[in-house]
Structure formats: C-alpha cells, structure tokens
Amino acid sequence: MAAELMAEERAPLLEVRGLSLAFGGVRCLDGLDLTVWEGEVVSVIGPNGAGKTTLFNVITGVYPPEAGEILFEGKSVLGLDPHQIARRGIARTFQTLRLFLNMTVKENVMAAAYGHTRAGVVRSVLRTPGMRREEREIEQLAEERLAFFGDRLVGYRWRQPAYSLSYANRRRLEIARATAAKPRLLLLDEPAAGMNPVETHEMTELIGRLREEGGYTILVIEHDMHVVEGISDRVVALDHGIKIAEGTFGEVATDPRVVEAYLGTSAAERK
C-alpha cells in the first residue's frame, strides 16, 4: 500500500520494544512491541484490563517499566520524569478526567503551556516586556486551542470554572489542554467514553481534524468500534498485556484471537 510505503520511509515517531510491567503477580504488559509512525492515527483496543491505560502510563513516565525500551523521535525516554517526557512532545488525556477543576477553562489550557515558556520568578515579578509578551502568547494559544472545538468552549466559557462544564465538554477541554503543551504525539485515553451518539460522532470528526489541521500523530484507546473504524490507520489489539493482533481495522476486527478476547472461545469457534 502506498501509505505504508510512505510510512516506511519516515522515521518512527514512537517505538516501544519488549515493554513489560507487572503489579504484584499480575502481568499488565508482557513484552509489548509497538511502533507509531509520524502522522498516523493508531487505535489500541482490547477488553477491560488488557493493559491499554497501563501502556499509556508507562509511555508517559508515570510507571517505570520492568523491561523494554521506549524511543521517542529515536531517543530513549526511559528514566525521565513525566514532565520531561511531556516536554519532549508526548501529551495525553485521561480516561478518568483529571482537569484542574477549580481553575477556569482558559487557565486550564494556559497552565499546560508551562513547558515551552520561560519567564521565571524574577521576570514575572518585574513584569519585563518579554514576560508580558509571553503571557499574551500563552493567552492567544489557549484561545486558539479552545476555538478548535467550534462554539463549545469559547467566549463566556473561558471565565467559567472547569467543574461547571458538562462531561463531554470536559473531555474536549482535556484535549485542548493536551494540545497546548505543543506535543507531536497525542495519547487520547477513551476520548468518546460517556458521550451520546452525536457527540461520539463529533469526536470521530475531531480526531481526524486533529491530525489534518493540528498535525499531531495520535495514539488512541477506544472502545467504541464505530469510532475506531472511523479514525484508525492501524489498530492494535491487546489482551493480558500481549499484542494479539495488528493491522487495518478490517483485519483486526475479524482476527479470531481478537474475537476470542472479546467474546470468549466458543464465539470464536462459531465464526
């Protein structure tokens, strides 16, 4: 396929090799390999407890892996603090929303600009011209990122505290906040969870736009198969921390191991 050939020529953006992690006796990740190429949208699917969110947590540095290697832009990110990994260009959202609830919508987004701004204590207190310019830029960035969602998070919403937002708007705000960190790779953890069909539909379009207009490479965990079908270049299926299938949506969705993981053995046999 042409797209695949093109992808081969580019360097992989994220390369995960032999990643393993266990909590107590439970193997959450077991020798997992995963490659994400620049500009791709890759979906990670799998039944509950398959290790999808753990994978995100290990990539972003929340947990150190027991074995394996994580390369981002060809360089290892193992041993870095999470904020350093985020500054390298990996931003994420959370399955269990983790907004700064008592800050305003706009401040939530502005806070994530910390990594690529400079003004320290002295410059902040002296209000130097450089610091003022930076503040204006942060504010513009936040407004622009929020405007990405049409009229959902604009105008009067900016001054509202994040806790006043609806569930769907909180998910959108999490994405806006993640993009304000200026990442190259976006990790979206169940962006459509808890949304109604129309909103889910919107989210599908939105992830496409994030790639086209934002230029982000996207790794996404999703349970809604319509969304997965609509957005993915490639799909990776996990079960018990092991990659059981990888390929296009059609290939993975019909893979007997995937059907077995989701529905059990007898269903797979009937197929």
CA distance 236 to 46: 8
CA distance 79 to 5: 33
- Residue 102 interacts with other proteins (CB under 8 A): yes or no: yes
Among 28, 86, 176, 219, binds other proteins (CB under 8 A): 86
- In angstroms, what CA-CA distances link 265 with 18, 239, 247, 251, 270? 27, 14, 22, 19, 9
Q: DSSP string covering 229-244, please?
A: HHH-SEEEEEETTEEE
- Residue 117 interacts with other proteins (CB under 8 A): yes or no: yes
Q: Which residues contact 93 (CB under 8 A, 6 or more apart)?
A: 171, 174, 175, 177, 178, 186, 187, 188, 189, 191
Stretch of 11-19, 28-36, 63-71, 103-111 contacting other proteins, by CB under 8 A: 103-111
Stretch of 7-15, 43-51, 99-107, 242-250 contacting other proteins, by CB under 8 A: 99-107
Q: Per-residue x/- mask for other proteins, residues 213 to 252, rule CB under 8 A?
A: -------------x---x----------------------
Nearer to other proteins, 42 or 187 (CB): 187
Q: Are 102 and 163 in contact (CB under 8 A)?
A: yes
Q: Per-residue x/- mask for other proteins, residues 126 to 165, rule CB under 8 A?
A: -x---x--xx--x------------xx---x----x-x--
Q: Are 206 and 152 in contact (CB under 8 A)?
A: no
| Helix or strand holding residue 47 (H, E) | none
Tokens 């059981």 identify what position? 244
User: C-beta of 189: minimal distance to other proteins in Å?
Assistant: 11
User: C-beta of 269: minimal distance to other proteins in Å?
Assistant: 31
- In angstroms, what CA-CA distances link 32 with 69, 150, 166, 202? 10, 38, 36, 32
- Residue 82 interacts with other proteins (CB under 8 A): yes or no: yes
For other proteins, the binding residues (CB under 8 A) are 60, 62, 81-83, 86-87, 91-92, 94, 98-103, 107-108, 110-117, 119-121, 124-125, 127, 131, 134-135, 138, 151-152, 156, 161, 163, 166, 168-169, 177-178, 181, 196, 198-199, 201-202, 204-205, 226, 230
